[in-house]
C-alpha cells in the first residue's frame, strides 16, 4: 500500500508525539507527569471541562501520562490505522478519531467526578469500534473477515479487561468503542455505495452534528458536584477572611452603631460558612472529602465562639473571658493541625 493511504494515521501519530515532546521541553516529567502539568496541557477534568473549557474533550485525546502510555497508544493507533484508513478514506477516518475521542471524553466525565483523563485510547478504541462494525456488516472480504474479527475482538477485549484495574479510564474506552460501532454503521451506506457524493457528505456532516448535540445535551445533564464544591470553598475562604478582618477591626472602634455592625458582620460570615458546609454535605463528593467538611464545620463553630468571647471581652473591658478565649484558641489550633494533615 502507498504511504499516502495512511497519511492521517501518520499525522495523528506525529501530533501525539510532538505534543509529548513539547511537554518534555516545557519541563513536564515524561515518565510520571503530575496532575497540574496534565491539566495545564489540556487534560479532561469535570470541574474545568463543564465550566466552559469544552476544548478539553478533544485536547485530552492528544496528551499522555508518560512515555509508556504514549508508546502503547501509538502502537494501537498504527495497528488499526494501517487497516482502517485505506477503507474509510482520509476525511471519514480523521472524523472517526476526533468524534469518538470526544464522546470517549464525555463518557469519562459522566462516569468520573474527579478523574483527570488523558490519552488517545478512547479515540483508538473508537477506531476499533468502526472496524468491528465493518467486519460485522461484511464490508470486508470474507477471506480476511474472520481472522480480522478474531484479532480485533481480542485486542478490544484485552483492553477492556486491563482497563478494569489500575488507573486506566475504562469509561473512556467503552464510550469510544460504542460510539465507534455506531459511527461505523452510520458510514455503511456510503461505504457500500462509494460513488455517491451525496451519501459521502451526509456521513461527514450528520455524525458531526449528532456529536455536537450529544456533547451539549450530555454536558448540561452531567452534575458537576466537585465544581460546585470548589466554588463553595472559594466563597468559604472569602467569608473567613472577611470574618477575621471584622474581628481585628472591632477593637479599633468605640461603642456605637458602626461597632455593632462590625460585630454582626463577623458573626454573620461564620454563620454563612456553616450554612455553606451544610450545603456541601448534600453533594456527591469523594468519600475522603466528607470528614473534612465535618472538621471545617467544627472549626467554624469554634471561630464563632472565639469571636463572641473576644467581642464581649473588648466591649466590657474585662479579663474574665481570658481562660475561655485561651481554651477556644487551643481548640482552633488543634483543628487547624487536623486540617493540615
CB contact at 8 A, 264 and 252: no
Chain centre to alpha carbon of residue 53: 10
Residue 121 annotated among the catalytic residues of the structure: yes
CB contact at 8 A, 85 and 128: no
Phi and psi at 326, nearest 5°, equal -65, -45
Can you name the residues that pair with 44 across neighbouring β-strands? 117
CB contact at 8 A, 301 and 328: no
CA distance 184 to 324: 72
- Catalytic residue, candidates 49, 121, 133, 246: 121
CA distance 130 to 183: 6
Rounded alpha-carbon distances, angstroms, from residue 176 to 68, 108, 128, 188: 21, 10, 9, 18
User: Which distant-in-sequence residues (6+ apart) come within 8 Å of 235 by Cβ?
Assistant: 276
Buried b / exposed e along 308-333 (16+ C-beta atoms within 10 A)? bbbbebbeeeeeebeeebeebeebbe
CA distance 6 to 317: 84
Residue 112 annotated among the catalytic residues of the structure: no
Rounded alpha-carbon distances, angstroms, from residue 78 to 123, 326, 339: 13, 68, 48
- Catalytic residue, candidates 105, 173, 179, 246: 173
C-alpha cell read off for 163: 482497563
Crossing angle of helices 67-88 and 121-136, rounded to 10°: 30
CA distance 54 to 203: 24
CB contact at 8 A, 262 and 249: yes
C-alpha cell read off for 280: 456541601
C-alpha cell read off for 154: 481480542
The set of catalytic residues is: 121, 173
Amino acid at each position: 500500500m502507498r504511504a499516502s493511504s495512511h497519511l492521517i494515521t501518520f499525522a495523528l501519530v506525529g501530533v501525539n508525539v510532538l505534543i509529548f515532546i513539547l511537554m518534555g521541553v516545557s519541563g513536564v516529567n515524561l515518565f510520571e507527569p503530575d496532575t497540574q502539568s496534565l491539566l495545564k496541557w489540556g487534560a479532561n477534568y469535570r470541574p474545568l471541562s463543564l465550566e466552559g473549557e469544552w476544548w478539553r474533550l478533544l485536547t485530552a485525546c492528544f496528551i499522555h501520562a508518560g512515555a509508556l502510555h504514549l508508546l502503547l497508544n501509538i502502537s494501537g493507533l498504527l495497528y488499526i490505522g494501517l487497516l482502517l484508513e485505506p477503507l474509510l478514506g482520509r476525511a471519514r477516518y480523521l472524523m472517526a478519531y476526533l468524534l469518538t475521542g470526544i464522546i470517549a471524553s464525555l463518557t469519562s466525565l459522566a462516569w468520573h467526578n474527579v478523574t483527570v483523563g488523558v490519552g488517545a485510547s478512547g479515540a483508538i478504541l473508537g477506531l476499533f469500534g468502526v472496524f468491528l462494525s465493518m467486519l460485522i456488516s461484511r464490508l470486508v472480504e470474507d477471506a480476511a473477515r474472520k481472522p480480522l474479527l478474531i484479532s480485533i475482538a481480542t485486542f478490544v477485549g484485552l483492553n477492556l479487561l486491563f482497563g478494569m484495574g489500575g488507573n486506566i479510564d475504562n469509561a473512556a474506552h467503552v464510550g469510544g468503542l460504542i460510539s465507534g460501532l455506531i459511527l461505523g454503521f452510520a458510514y455503511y451506506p456510503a461505504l457500500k455505495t462509494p460513488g455517491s457524493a451525496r451519501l459521502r457528505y451526509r456521513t461527514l456532516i450528520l455524525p458531526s452534528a449528532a456529536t455536537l448535540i450529544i456533547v451539549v445535551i450530555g454536558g448540561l445533564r452531567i452534575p458537576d458536584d466537585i465544581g460546585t464544591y470548589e466554588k463553595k470553598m472559594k466563597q468559604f475562604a472569602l467569608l473567613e477572611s472577611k470574618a477575621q478582618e471584622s474581628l481585628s477591626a472591632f477593637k479599633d472602634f468605640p461603642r456605637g452603631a458602626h461597632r455593632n455592625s462590625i460585630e454582626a458582620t463577623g458573626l454573620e460570615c461564620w454563620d454563612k460558612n456553616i450554612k455553606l458546609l451544610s450545603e456541601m454535605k448534600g453533594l456527591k463528593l469523594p468519600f475522603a472529602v466528607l470528614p473534612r467538611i465535618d472538621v471545617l464545620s467544627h472549626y467554624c463553630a469554634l471561630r464563632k465562639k472565639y469571636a463572641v468571647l473576644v467581642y464581649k471581652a473588648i466591649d466590657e473591658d474585662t479579663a474574665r473571658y481570658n481562660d475561655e478565649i485561651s481554651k477556644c484558641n487551643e481548640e482552633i489550633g488543634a483543628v487547624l493541625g487536623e486540617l493540615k494533615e
